């Protein structure tokens, strides 16, 4: 019997780079939320591994052991066919591949398989938080997670269609020893509470990403100028950016306006949790 799972988009509401270890791994302090939009997967056990692709972003996705979902399945001793409906752009700073692999691990755990303790982090810094798939503070190299209560945040996700290599963005950092978020993240009763607090935080990767991909400047400008926008910021290492709005209706209106001017951009109104 096939197992159907959902892999939501991961959004870095903040991303502070606070240091770098001797082994090269960067230390992060990030408030992460997840959208009600993502990829769909269907797993059917069988004697051989296979990845079948569909969806608007299927092109270019590896169908062999280079794919994180293949590595995740093999890491828990499972084999079979995985159908991946790729709705999220890849290499976009919204954890698409990591969320896909995390969804596979969660599904196979529910089927009674055991995930080795070191497997998620070995597949990438975003894997542990993507396995939680709800708002959390992510620290260290991704292994330290603290659940955070967030109100439902109406948002608009926009990607201009350019790929931003993560390595180039980290290489462009002017400082790797930046201030973390405050020790305590306060309780948020409303979108406004969350916005006012987020406005004092950062994404330290935004500046080098804008150098690597100037298209991000236009995205952030258009989001910030859209009616009702409370905050515009880049997610992860880019190029996807987001804006928060007081209502989901306002996010949909902004999607219409920006989409009319940039029909080639990927634009989605979502709720973040």
How far apart CA 249 and CA 254 sit, in angstroms, is: 9
CA distance 167 to 115: 28
Indicate which residue of 29, 39, 126, 204 is catalytic.
126
> What CA–CA distances, in Å, run from 195 to 93, 221, 243?
21, 18, 10
Active-site choice (10, 29, 86, 100)? 10
Cα–Cα dist 150/134, whole Å: 9
Q: How far apart are CA 194 and CA 176, in angstroms?
A: 26
Structure tokens at 80: 């079979």
Residue 86 is among the residues annotated as catalytic for this protein: no
Q: How far apart are CA 92 and CA 214, in angstroms?
A: 15
Half-sphere exposure of residue 193: CA atoms within 13 angstroms, side-chain side: 10
**Hey, what are 55's tokens?**
């969806």
Among residues 223, 130, 205, the alpha carbon closest in space to that of 169 is found at 205
The tokens of 173 are what?
A: 């950092």
Q: Are 162 and 234 in contact (CB under 8 A)?
A: no
In the annotation, is 126 catalytic? yes
Q: Could you list the active site residues?
A: 10, 126
């Amino acid at each position: 019997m096939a197992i159907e799972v959902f892999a939501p988009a991961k959004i870095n509401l903040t991303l502070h780079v606070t240091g770098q270890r001797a082994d090269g791994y960067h230390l992060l302090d990030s408030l992460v939320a997840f959208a009600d939009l993502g990829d769909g997967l269907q797993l059917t056990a069988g004697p051989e591994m296979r990845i079948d692709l569909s969806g608007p972003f299927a092109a270019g996705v590896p169908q062999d052991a280079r794919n994180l979902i293949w590595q995740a399945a093999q890491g828990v001793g499972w084999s079979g066919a995985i159908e991946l409906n790729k709705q999220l752009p890849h290499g976009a700073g919204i954890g698409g591949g990591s969320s896909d692999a995390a969804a596979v691990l969660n599904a196979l755990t529910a089927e009674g398989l055991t995930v080795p303790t070191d497997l998620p982090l070995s597949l990438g810094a975003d894997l542990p938080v993507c396995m939680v798939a709800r708002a959390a503070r992510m620290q260290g190299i991704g292994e330290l997670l603290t659940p955070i209560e967030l109100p439902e945040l109406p948002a608009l996700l926009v990607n201009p269609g350019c790929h931003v290599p993560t390595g180039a963005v980290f290489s462009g950092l002017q400082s790797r020893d930046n201030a973390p978020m405050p020790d305590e993240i306060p309780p948020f009763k409303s979108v406004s509470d969350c916005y006012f607090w987020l406005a004092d935080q950062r994404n330290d990767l935004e500046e080098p990403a804008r150098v690597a991909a100037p298209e991000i400047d236009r995205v952030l400008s258009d989001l910030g100028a859209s009616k009702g926008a409370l905050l515009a910021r880049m997610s992860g290492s880019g190029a996807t950016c987001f804006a928060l709005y007081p209502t989901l209706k306002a996010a949909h209106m902004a999607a219409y306006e920006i989409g009319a001017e940039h029909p080639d951009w990927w634009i989605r109104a979502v709720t973040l949790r």
